[in-house]
Structure 1
Amino acid sequence: MDIAAIIPTLGGTAFTFVAFVVALSVIVAVHEYGHYIVGRWSGIHAEVFSLGFGPVLWSRMDRRGTRWQVAAIPFGGYVKFLGDADAASAGEDEDAVAELTPEQRRHTMAGAPLWARAATVAAGPVFNFILSILIYAGLVMAIGQTREPMTIGSFEPLPGVVNELRPGDEILSMGGVVVTDESGKSDFTGVREQLPKEPVLTYLVRRDGVQREVRGPYPFPPLVSELLPLSAAADAGLQVGDVVTAVDGAAIFDFDQLKQKVEAATGAPLKLDVWRDGQISEFVLKPRRVDEPQADGGFKTEWRIGIAGRQFFEPARDAHGPIEALKRGAQATWDIIARIPSSLYSLVTGAISSCNMAGPITMAQVSGHMASQGAENFISFIALISTAIGLFNLFPIPVLDGGHLVFYAYEAVFRRPAPQRVHMALMAVGLFVVLSLMLFALGNDIVCWLMRKELL
């Protein structure tokens, strides 16, 4: 059953909530399973594997003595190992450990060899990265990569257009603007501003190995390719695949023309003539204001109706084998990891607004938006967040996995654990830091939402 296909049928708040819970549950389950399975391989016994916190809704004891459970609060999870004082493995339950035999103590987190403890802790973030790599690799294998040079795969239906292009045509230039360079690399969207603003352009294509000129429609029509839930366009009844042919009686052929008219209306009602299934229908909607955060920390007021466009054809794609797909998946994951530190630095120094930092409200909104765009976008979003959570957990903050690894590094260097009082004091500081960050992210979400006055 395709969960991503079911989610968009839900109502607004339920839609967002379910999408967020599904995304978070997948990421948390993989993270905690990394801790569990590497701990088990290392001889550390897991007493509880919990998806969620609070009252237990369902549980089952397996033959190894681990209780698997689903709890009522779905925002997280944990693995409790034998001898742990709490779910965070922040300390040892001395009373419980005192009752264990020496052999049993070897199967506690504290009693395991240093390498086993370090491997078990590091496995959570590593499994997040593995999830991201596998997701991106799977998408590359299932969907493929856009073929170079840019090649037409299929066409989107458009009303009354001149189109002499054919599937399989390699696009070399449009309206006299070069799209594909001598190396065969295509920059289709990068030349958008240079194109003649005409409804019909001359295309230079390579067909069956021969170059020829043919006529075709302007490449970026006012075609609805994405529709945001609860947006002005969605509320008015627009659908993916609709083509806007006129705004307030003025004919348009370019998505940028639609964008300009939406901006110029500054919230006043617009009448759209929309082509759908061979028929023209009228829709009236009011653009909604969105105050977008800028790099200087300020906001720029823009007007949106909640749609995105695309070119009038679907590019041909080439499938890749598993090895190449894994390479591309690893590269995509690494690209995300490499961008996060610089983004955090920009946030801390004030180079970009704090509204660029996503808290739980923003995460939920984005989850719902991505789910509404279909399985590919939703799964890609899960990969992105899984990478971010994996990296965040490696930060050297006590309570987080990275903090535990710092303690283990100290133990490896000095041949003894950190003093208990120091350990507990730093864990308390780490907990304070993490809770402060969570509260800041939540408050920041609320403030930025109020400043944007965004309805999505």
Structure 2
Amino acid sequence: MNSFLGSVFWLLVTLGVLVTFHEFGHYWVARRCGVKVLRFSVGFGKAIWSRIGKDGTEYQIAAIPLGGYVKMLDAREGEVDPADRGSEFTSKPVWQRIAIVAAGPAFNLIFAIAAFWAMYVVGMPDFAPLVTATPHSMAADAGVRDGDRVLAVDGKPVDTMGDTYEALGNALLGREPLPLRVRGSDGTERVVTLPLNRLPAGQDIGQYMDKLGIKLASPAPIAAVVRAGFPAASAGMQGGDRIVSINGQPVTDFEAFSRLVVAEATKSPALDIAVERQGKPLSFKVTARMESMEGQPPRWLIGVSPPQPEPMLRRYGPAAAVSAALTTTWDNTASIFNMIGKMVSGQASTKNLSGVIGIAQVANASASAGLGAFLRFLAAISLSLAVLNLLPIPVLDGGHLLYYLIELVKGSPLSERTMMAGQYVGLFLLLTLMGLAFYNDIHRSLFL
């Protein structure tokens, strides 16, 4: 499956699962409050399958698999039979209407906790937080060295590279000096302060990460795998050889080795590669060849693969996973509110917003990375839906909750005219946010 089709497929899976679960929350609580549900639809548009349940609800699967919806008996949408007025939505006490509306975000929250729990039970592959700093980057200038192991970010311990990136991303929103506690390759610990306050305003996290320059440390220059039939194997290189130099130029890590292969082969495909094998120096004449691998553009290759970074698998038993899932849910919720607050205050750029294109790309990448990664993605998106739906914007669940809270205070519902005006304002705000997110997605795709 190519990248485009994969992105579309996993976007449909993501929205289908999460939006349907959200709507099931409204449906389940509405039924328990005695509200008549006319239709529960998985998807939108024309029905491709439907049936009427014993409860009188029409259950259907529709042609457009982008979520779903629940249609309740509602006097605001037409005449209601006198016999059904007791099961009509607006006739219910305000606290029941609040419960029905809040159930959608609540079910997204429950789904997020369950997905994080499943992720920890299945296991989340990651890497040890061994980092390097790109030359002349902010991290390099601050004193981050090749092979440093990150122990804590702003005082909070981190165990994996994923935790490190997440903590750095949250800190970049505020652009304030950030202390990192690291352990060097010599075993000594020190604190490095990253001057994030020097970053320019108005850029997204991806651009800030590039300027920061912290990334997973490149593996040692060891030929972990020498592929049969490729130039390195034909010349006599073997798996486990430690690469010392290419054409006399020293090699410090595998990334430097890859760069040198391309640079030197561009001048001449014939390469002199010096290695160390079981403590003995050896030299090989290797003729690189231009080749395309796995659909990538052609490049100079000799058929050598690096050792994998130090792997880590975060896995817990079912009981321990509950605590881990709750903690992760809390931390992710705090991060979402932190981002919203900083964007509202102007500290963080709205360029950090992503729309369906960005979600589709991340969905495809996480699905390709394995079940644990995809569960983490589903949990994060479900949590974002829960929080965003609770924002007090009319047309969202949070806007309806705002109306009902005002009704509780004043003792009567808002007028139809006021609510309709609010709906128009909310629709304008929502479309503006969606348009901005879509623009950001297109801009990233074209220019980054």
Structure-2-length-normalised TM-score: 0.63
Partner of 2:131: none
Relative distance call for 1:251 and 1:361 in structure 2 (3 A) is: farther
Partner of 2:390: 394
Distance in 1, matches of 2:416 and 2:10, equals: 42
Partner of 2:185: 195
The alignment-based identity, stated in percent, is: 34
Q: CA offsets, 1:98-143, max 9 Å, x none?
A: x332xx2121211122121111110100111111101111222232
Matched, 1:451 2:447: yes
Matches within 5 A, 1:189-338: 194-195=184-185, 220-221=219-220, 254-257=253-256, 284=290, 312-315=309-312, 319-322=316-319, 324-338=320-334
Read off the aligned partner of 2:317 and give its amino acid letter. Answer: H
Read off the aligned partner of 1:377 and give its amino acid letter. Answer: A
The aligned length equals 334
The answer as to whether partners of 1:177 and 1:191 remain within 8 angstroms in 2 is no
Q: CA offsets, 1:263-313, max 9 Å, x none?
A: x97xx899999xxxxxx99775799xxxxxxxxxxxxxxxxxxxx998555
Following superposition, the deviation at residue 426 of structure 1 comes to 0.7
Matches within 5 A, 1:327-406: 327-406=323-402
Partner of 1:94: 78
Read off the aligned partner of 2:51 and give its amino acid letter. Answer: R
Read off the aligned partner of 1:319 and give its amino acid letter. Answer: Y
Following superposition, the deviation at residue 408 of structure 1 comes to 0.8
Partner of 2:111: 131
Partner of 1:20: 11
Relative distance call for 1:356 and 1:318 in structure 2 (3 A) is: closer
Match of 1:109 among 89, 96, 99: 89
Distance in 1, matches of 2:183 and 2:322, equals: 35
Structure 2: stretches of 5+ with no match in the other structure: 129-145, 162-179, 187-216, 224-238, 274-285, 294-304
- Aligned-residue CA RMSD in angstroms? 4.3
Read off the aligned partner of 1:93 and give its amino acid letter. Answer: E
Following superposition, the deviation at residue 376 of structure 1 comes to 1.2
Q: When you count helix as a share of all residues, which structure comes out higher?
A: 2
Partner of 1:426: 422
The answer as to whether partners of 2:124 and 2:373 remain within 8 angstroms in 1 is no
The answer as to whether partners of 2:147 and 2:184 remain within 8 angstroms in 1 is no
Partner of 1:72: 63
The answer as to whether partners of 2:120 and 2:315 remain within 8 angstroms in 1 is no
The answer as to whether partners of 1:248 and 1:270 remain within 8 angstroms in 2 is no
Relative distance call for 1:383 and 1:29 in structure 2 (3 A) is: same
Distance in 2, matches of 1:270 and 1:355, equals: 44
Structure-1-length-normalised TM-score: 0.62
Following superposition, the deviation at residue 186 of structure 1 comes to 8.7
Following superposition, the deviation at residue 28 of structure 1 comes to 0.7
Report the secondary structure of 1:395's partner residue: coil
Read off the aligned partner of 1:372 and give its amino acid letter. Answer: S
Following superposition, the deviation at residue 441 of structure 1 comes to 1.4
Following superposition, the deviation at residue 251 of structure 1 comes to 8.1
Structure 1: stretches of 5+ with no match in the other structure: 1-9, 85-91, 151-174, 197-217, 225-241, 274-279, 288-307
Report the secondary structure of 2:61's partner residue: strand
